[in-house]
Chains A and B, each alone.
Chain A
């Protein structure tokens, strides 16, 4: 069933207009990925209003291409400037920056882009194979199953996200509470508006993303003192060719990292632990573990492959279940709703040209992406040499434009500033922001799923356990929720000497 559908998708994705959009998307995405304070989630959020007049398929192609571009851009700053643009590129700096300092930045970048490409391609192939099957299964899901999946989504932030589990929990709950502000669509009642008219429409998560990630990030980098001391990158066909000849040697690392990335990335918040885990495994299985951290190509290959496999995998639950695996996927999901599409398994039946166009565009977007970044690295790197006194107000102003254009409301621009301060404080205090955004996006869906489940069971929460699929998912979710309590206890039982397998995000 897959092949002809994919061909249909390629017919959509290869239309000159859509290819052009993919090129624009990748270019903008790479610029956004390079700029401090503007990551994939933000870039997609700011561009979203511009897509309202496009067809949904073209719009999603533009936005996914932007996403790939942002992932590639993150690698440029990690390697040349030692600034991880996104949390999952932290592991790339370990060996990427030393390589760049030794004048081997060209090799490091080529290796990073090629690994990203391999990782993403692997994820897209798996999506092509499994998305229709998963959608088929998901069609049978009722409200209890959907609520159970939501539980699983958020439990994995607590159980696997690293950091403080209590703070992750608070972030999630705060997101859900903010999602509930305004009109309750089921009963028509106003909630938590306290008589303030502006609160009636609630908080827009796109504005929250722009504030939390955009403004918050800019404030953080201002505090740390924006000083970009970049290594220069000379990249030419000869360097690329030589690196490519060297890369097949690391096929084991590629395969391992692909699987780690896809497996972790399928669950939310997975890209960062996936990149660290993949790096740790590459080091452990290497013949020269002592070279890691001093400029080993394999140390760039492992995290980049895993991060991109995870980045691709995070789109799988979004298109099949309507549940995003990352903040960027969450913003795209919001886009789907705005374009008048109902995210979830029905999309495969109702809008095959949209779904398959999207999947096919993941192939084209990646090919375009890797070609563009290899060709234009020096240009993209030059962006960071623009002085901060120009970059900072530019980014703030672009964020303001984006926040306003979502609903054409001035109050959103104020919300953006407030969310910026919240983002800054939360980031400093280790409250994770991604689960907050996800909860804000999924709030209404989760609440409705829970309400409908309770109506089905006349008020008993046990319905979540009584149905086989939702029961199994709920049990896994409960296990993840309990993981922070179990782990120390288990470690004490085994005698405290065993270190954890993977370094976690701090």
Chain B
């Protein structure tokens, strides 16, 4: 827990430093029409770094030793995350419908151990209903790929 607390605070401090650097570049003082663009973010970042230092101070005295996450806890989390990331990556080429159907089918097969037929039908039903609701009914277009092009959309 302590390590995670410290890491997060340090990452935020680094981010804050980046903000300060950029704000100094565009000016934090008084321009011709009021405060310059960097004024607000500069002070925000200064305050944030201050608060993070406080958090670090607190965390250093914390001796509870509870782990942030155990290996057994992390597994199911990663099991959701990496297929989701792969799915988003696939969306760039396959479009949203096919990619999300593949993701659902994969997840159901891999972690739910469903038979092929069940996994496929659930994911196809999902993709088709999203298509009907968004694309047809509310006219909100989704990213499409070769499959949709082949079907004429």
Contacts and interface: CB of A to CB of B under 8 A. Distances in A.
Contacts of B8: 425-426, 429, 431
Contacts of A174: 12, 48
A404 B92 CA distance: 12
Contacts of B79: 222
A394 interface: yes
B10 interface: no
Q: Give the residue among A173, A400, A414, A452 with the most B Cβ atoms within 10 A.
A: A173
B96 A184 contact: no
A413 B34 contact: no
A223 B142 contact: no
B85 A400 contact: no
A372 interface: no
Contact of B134 (A173, A401, A413, A447): A401
A343 interface: no
B142 A397 contact: no
A506 interface: no
A403 to B, nearest CB: 10
B41 A177 contact: yes
Contacts of A404: 96, 142-143
Interface string B28-39: 001101111111
A390 B104 CA distance: 7
Secondary structure at the A interface, as helix, strand, loop or mixed, is helix
A49 B140 contact: yes
Interface stretch (A70-78, A164-172, A259-267): A164-172
Secondary structure at the B interface, as helix, strand, loop or mixed, is helix
A451 B26 CA distance: 16
A450 B35 CA distance: 9
B128 interface: no
Contacts of A429: 1, 4-5, 8, 68
Classify chain A: how many residues form its interface, as a range: 35 or more
Given A180-B44, A394-B104, A451-B40, A405 B134 contact: yes
A177 B33 contact: no
Contacts of B39: 451
Given A219-B81, A405-B134, A170 B55 contact: yes
A426 B19 CA distance: 20
Interface of A: 49-50, 52-53, 164, 166-167, 169-170, 173-174, 176-177, 180, 184, 186-187, 189, 191-192, 194, 215, 218-219, 222-225, 387-390, 392-394, 396-397, 400-401, 404-405, 408, 410, 413-414, 417, 420-421, 424-426, 428-429, 431, 447, 450-452, 454-455, 459
Interface of B: 1, 4-5, 8, 12, 15-16, 18-19, 22-23, 26, 30-31, 33-41, 44-45, 47-48, 51-52, 54-55, 58, 68-69, 73-74, 76-77, 79-81, 83-85, 87-88, 91-92, 96, 100, 103-104, 107-108, 111-114, 122, 126, 130, 133-134, 138-143
Given A50-B140, A170-B48, A173-B48, 9 more contacts: A164-B55, A192-B23, A215-B84, A223-B76, A389-B113, A404-B96, A417-B88, A429-B8, A451-B39
